C-alpha cells in the first residue's frame, strides 16, 4: 500500500495565456495601438500568449536549458568549422520568436504606427517561456537601425533581419530566407570601455563583401550568439584610433566561410541556453558601417534598442516570478487557510504586483515613445528605466521564490531559472554605473531629453499630493545640477536616476493603473510608507490594493 498520497500541492503551471492574463499588456495595446490595428495585434498576441503558457512551450524551455549549447571546432575530417550545436527545442523557441515578428519587423513592416509597442508586448509575453534565446532575437532587431548608416549594407541585410522566417545554418545570405545578428564589442582588457579595444581593421579594397572592405585581426571577450549569420563588431583602423563599426558575416558573398575562430563557450550563471563565446579574428573580412572612427556613435543605435529589451526582459522575468508565486499561494494551504489569503502573504504579493506592473508600464511607455519618434524621451528615458527596472528584478524574483518555500529552490518548479537570470540585464549593455553616468552625459549634452522626461512625469500632476511633492523636489534638484562639480554629480548619479525612475513609474501608475494600486505605489515608493524589503506596505494600502493587485497578477487555471 502507498505510504502517503500527495495533497496540498499546486497543479502544474501550464495551459494559461501569458498575454491575455496580463491586464497591463492588454490595456497597453488598447491604449496605444491605433484602433484599426488593435484586433489584429490582440489576436496575434493572444495566440502567442496561449502558446507561451502551454505544456509544449514549457517542454521546449526545459530541454533548451538542460541540453546546453555544444561547441564543435572541427568536423570529422579535421577541418575547422567553428559551429555550435543546439537542442532542437532551441530552434523551436527561435522559430516562434522570429515568426511573431520579434526580430527586425517593427523597423520595416506596416504595423499601424505601433510596431515597437506590439513587439514589446510580444517580447514580454514570449520571453517568460525561456529568456536565453531572446538575446539573439534582441540583437537582430537592434542591428537594423545601425545598418541604415550604410544604405548599401542595409539594402542587402535588412530584409533578412526583418524576416519572419527562421532559417538556421551558415550559408551565404542570398540563399537564406531570414538572418540572425550578433555583436562583438567587449574585449578582456576593456570590458565596458570599448575604446580600449585592441582589434585592428586594415583597409583591403575589393574583398568578397558589399561595401568598403577591411580585414580584422584581434579578439572579442564576449561574442553573443556565435551561430548568428552576421555580426556588428568594433575595431580601430590604426593604433590609437577611435573604433569603427564593421559588419562581419560568418559566410562571405562568394560562399566561403569568414575566419571566425570560436575559442570557447562561456560557462555562465544564467542565460545558459544561449551560446556566448570568445572569438578570434585573423584576417576576418568586415565592411565598414557608418563613418570611420565613429563606431561608438554608430553602435549607440543598437545599444538604445538592446537596452529597451533589457527593460522588457526584466519586466517579463518579474511577471513570470510573480505569477508563479500567486499560482502557488492560491493552491497551497497553511495554518488553516490558503496562503494567498494570509494577511502577511497578501502584503508580499501586493507589493510584488505593484513593482511588476510599474516595470511593465515603463517598458511599454518607452516602446510607445520609440513608435512616436520621440528621440529626446528615449535617449534619457531608456537609460533611466534600464538602470532601475533591471536593478529591481533580482530582489523581486528572490521574494517571489520565497513564496514557494523549498519548492522555489528546486529546478523543476521554474523559479531557479528566473533567479539565475535576474541579474543579467543589469550587466548587459552597461552595468548600473555605466547607465547612471550615461544619464548624466545625456542631461549635459542634450538638455531637451531631461525636459522630455520631466514632461511625462508631470502628466499626472494634481491627482495625488505625495506625487506632486516628489515632482516639486525633483525639479528643484534637477535645476541645481548645473552648479554641481563633476565629482559631486558622479557620486550622486545613482540616486538621481532612482528618483527619475520612481517618479516616472508613479506618474504612469496614476495615469494608467487602478486607483488603489497607484495610491499604494505612490504612498510606499514616494511617501515613505515602505520598509527595506517587499511585504512592508502600510496595512491601509494593503487593504485597499490587495484585491485588485493580486487579481491582476494572477492567471486562471
Query: Could you tell me the domains of the chain?
Result: 171-292 (2.40.110.20), 299-557 (1.20.140.10)
What is the C-alpha separation between 117 and 239, in angstroms, rounded? 43
How many CB atoms neighbour CB 492 within 10 A? 15
**Residue scoring higher pLDDT (112 or 71):** 71
Model confidence pLDDT, tens digit, residues 192-227: 777 788 999 999 999 999 999 999 999 999 998 999
Rounded mean pLDDT, 266-293: 96
DSSP 249-293: ESB-TTSPBPP-EEEEE---SS-TTS-EEEEEEEEEEEEEESSTT
What is the C-alpha separation between 328 and 45, in angstroms, rounded? 25
What is the C-alpha separation between 542 and 536, in angstroms, rounded? 9
pLDDT value, residue 319:
98
What angle (nearest 5°) sits at the alpha carbon of residue 153, between those of residues 381 and 247? 70
Q: Is the pLDDT of residue 557 over 80?
A: no
The C-alpha cell at 176 is 537564406
Least confident interval from 127-131, 220-224, 533-537: 220-224
375-to-138, 295, 369, 499 alpha-carbon distances in Å: 19, 20, 8, 21
Q: Is the pLDDT of residue 392 over 90?
A: yes
pLDDT value, residue 111:
60
Q: H or E stretch including 121?
A: helix 115-127
What angle (nearest 5°) sits at the alpha carbon of residue 104, between those of residues 101 and 105? 50
The C-alpha cell at 364 is 511599454
pLDDT value, residue 75:
94
Residues 196-202: contacts with CB under 8 Å, at least 24 apart: 197/234, 197/235, 197/236, 197/243, 198/236, 199/233, 199/234, 199/235, 199/236, 199/281, 200/235, 200/236, 200/237, 200/238, 200/239, 201/235, 201/236, 201/237, 201/244, 201/246, 201/286, 202/237
Q: How confident is the model at residue 110 (pLDDT cuts 50, 70, 90)?
A: low
**Please, what's the b/e burial string for 430-460 (b: 16 or more CB within 10 A of its CB; e: otherwise)?**
bebebbbbbbbebbeeeeebbebbbebbbeb
Contact predicate 274/132, CB 8 Å: yes
Q: How confident is the model at residue 322 (pLDDT cuts 50, 70, 90)?
A: very high
Q: Is 81 strand, coil or helix?
A: strand
Q: How confident is the model at residue 555 (pLDDT cuts 50, 70, 90)?
A: confident
Rounded mean pLDDT, 364-371: 96
pLDDT value, residue 112:
62
Model confidence pLDDT, tens digit, residues 455-510: 999 999 999 999 999 999 999 989 888 878 889 999 999 999 999 999 999 999 99
Least confident interval from 3-12, 418-427, 496-505, 509-518: 3-12
Q: Is the pLDDT of residue 191 over 90?
A: no
pLDDT value, residue 304:
84
Rounded mean pLDDT, 362-389: 96
Model confidence pLDDT, tens digit, residues 78-109: 999 999 999 999 999 999 999 999 999 999 87
The Cβ-side half-sphere exposure at 78, using a 13 Å CA radius, reads: 0
Contacts of 16 (CB under 8 A, 6+ apart): 50, 53, 555, 556, 557
pLDDT value, residue 302:
84
pLDDT value, residue 68:
97
What is the C-alpha separation between 87 and 305, in angstroms, rounded? 28
Q: Is 57 strand, coil or helix?
A: helix
pLDDT value, residue 333:
92
Rounded mean pLDDT, 289-295: 95
Model confidence pLDDT, tens digit, residues 238-274: 988 999 999 999 999 999 999 999 999 999 999 999 9
Model confidence pLDDT, tens digit, residues 41-79: 999 999 999 999 999 999 999 999 999 999 999 999 999
Closest CA to 287 of 341, 329, 245: 245
Calculate what percentage of the chain has a pLDDT beyond 70.
99
How many CB atoms neighbour CB 84 within 10 A? 17
The Cβ-side half-sphere exposure at 365, using a 13 Å CA radius, reads: 26
Q: How confident is the model at residue 402 (pLDDT cuts 50, 70, 90)?
A: very high
What angle (nearest 5°) sits at the alpha carbon of residue 163, between those of residues 160 and 165? 110
Q: Is the pLDDT of residue 514 over 70?
A: yes
Closest CA to 249 of 231, 237, 265, 266: 231
pLDDT value, residue 44:
96
Rounded mean pLDDT, 298-327: 94
Contact predicate 187/200, CB 8 Å: no
What is the C-alpha separation between 215 and 62, in angstroms, rounded? 41
Task: Give just the sign of the alpha carbon dihedral 79, 83, 86, 88.
Answer: negative
Cell 549634452, residue located: 445
Model confidence pLDDT, tens digit, residues 517-533: 999 999 999 999 899 99
pLDDT value, residue 301:
80
343-to-195, 201, 214, 310, 395 alpha-carbon distances in Å: 53, 63, 65, 34, 21
Q: Is the pLDDT of residue 344 over 90?
A: yes
11-to-61, 318, 327, 339, 459 alpha-carbon distances in Å: 19, 21, 9, 15, 43
What is the C-alpha separation between 52 and 47, in angstroms, rounded? 9
Amino acid at each position: 500500500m502507498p505510504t502517503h498520497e500527495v495533497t496540498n500541492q499546486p497543479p502544474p503551471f501550464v495551459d494559461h495565456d501569458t498575454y491575455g492574463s496580463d491586464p497591463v499588456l492588454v490595456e497597453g495595446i488598447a491604449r496605444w495601438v491605433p484602433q484599426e490595428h488593435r484586433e489584429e495585434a490582440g489576436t496575434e498576441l493572444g495566440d502567442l500568449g496561449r502558446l507561451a503558457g502551454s505544456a509544449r512551450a514549457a517542454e521546449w524551455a526545459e530541454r533548451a536549458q538542460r541540453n546546453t549549447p555544444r561547441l564543435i571546432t572541427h568536423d570529422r575530417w579535421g577541418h575547422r568549422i567553428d559551429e555550435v550545436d543546439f537542442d532542437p527545442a532551441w530552434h523551436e523557441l527561435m522559430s516562434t520568436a522570429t515568426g511573431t515578428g520579434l526580430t527586425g519587423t517593427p523597423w520595416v513592416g506596416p504595423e499601424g504606427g505601433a510596431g515597437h509597442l506590439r513587439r514589446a508586448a510580444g517580447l514580454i509575453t514570449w520571453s517568460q517561456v525561456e529568456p536565453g534565446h531572446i538575446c539573439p532575437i534582441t540583437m537582430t532587431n537592434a542591428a537594423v537601425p545601425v545598418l541604415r548608416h550604410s544604405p548599401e549594407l542595409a539594402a542587402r541585410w535588412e530584409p533578412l533581419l526583418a524576416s519572419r522566417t527562421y532559417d538556421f545554418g551558415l550559408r551565404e545570405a542570398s540563399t537564406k530566407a531570414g538572418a540572425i545578428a550578433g555583436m562583438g564589442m567587449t574585449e578582456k582588457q576593456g570590458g565596458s570601455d570599448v575604446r580600449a579595444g585592441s582589434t585592428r581593421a586594415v583597409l583591403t579594397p575589393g574583398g568578397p563583401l558589399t561595401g568598403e572592405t577591411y580585414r580584422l585581426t584581434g579578439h572579442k571577450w564576449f561574442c553573443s550568439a556565435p551561430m548568428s549569420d552576421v555580426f556588428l563588431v568594433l575595431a580601430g583602423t590604426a593604433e590609437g584610433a577611435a573604433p569603427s563599426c564593421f559588419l562581419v558575416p560568418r559566410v562571405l558573398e562568394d560562399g566561403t566561410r569568414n575566419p571566425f575562430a570560436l575559442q570557447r563557450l562561456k560557462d555562465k550563471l544564467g542565460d545558459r541556453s544561449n551560446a556566448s563565446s570568445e572569438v578570434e579574428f585573423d584576417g576576418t573580412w568586415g565592411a565598414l558601417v557608418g563613418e570611420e572612427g565613429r563606431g561608438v556613435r554608430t553602435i549607440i543605435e543598437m545599444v538604445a534598442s538592446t537596452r529597451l529589451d533589457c527593460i522588457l526582459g526584466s519586466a517579463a522575468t518579474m511577471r513570470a516570478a510573480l505569477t508563479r508565486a500567486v499560482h502557488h499561494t492560491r493552491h497551497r494551504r497553511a495554518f488553516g487557510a490558503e496562503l494567498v489569503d494570509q494577511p502577511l502573504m497578501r502584503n508580499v504579493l501586493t507589493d510584488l504586483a505593484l513593482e511588476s506592473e510599474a516595470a511593465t508600464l515603463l517598458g511599454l511607455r518607452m516602446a510607445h515613445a520609440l513608435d512616436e519618434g520621440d528621440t529626446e524621451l528615449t535617449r534619457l528615458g531608456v537609460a533611466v528605466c534600464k538602470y532601475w527596472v533591471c536593478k529591481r528584478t533580482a530582489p523581486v524574483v528572490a521574494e517571489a521564490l520565497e513564496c514557494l518555500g523549498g519548492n522555489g529552490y528546486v529546478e523543476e518548479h521554474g523559479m531557479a531559472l528566473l533567479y539565475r537570470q535576474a541579474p543579467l540585464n543589469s550587466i548587459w549593455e552597461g552595468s548600473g554605473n555605466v547607465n547612471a553616468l550615461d544619464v548624466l552625459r545625456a542631461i549635459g549634452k542634450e538638455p531637451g531629453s531631461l525636459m522630455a522626461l520631466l514632461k511625462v512625469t508631470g502628466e499626472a500632476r494634481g491627482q495625488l499630493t505625495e506625487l506632486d511633492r516628489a515632482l516639486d523636489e525633483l525639479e528643484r534638484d534637477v535645476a541645481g545640477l548645473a552648479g554641481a562639480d563633476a565629482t559631486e554629480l558622479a557620486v550622486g548619479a545613482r540616486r538621481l536616476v532612482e528618483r527619475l525612475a520612481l517618479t516616472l513609474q508613479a506618474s504612469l501608475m496614476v495615469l494608467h493603473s487602478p486607483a488603489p494600486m497607484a495610491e499604494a505605489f505612490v504612498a510606499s515608493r514616494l511617501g515613505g510608507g515602505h520598509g527595506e524589503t517587499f511585504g512592508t506596505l502600510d496595512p491601509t494600502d494593503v487593504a485597499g490594493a490587495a484585491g485588485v493587485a493580486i487579481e491582476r497578477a494572477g492567471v486562471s487555471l
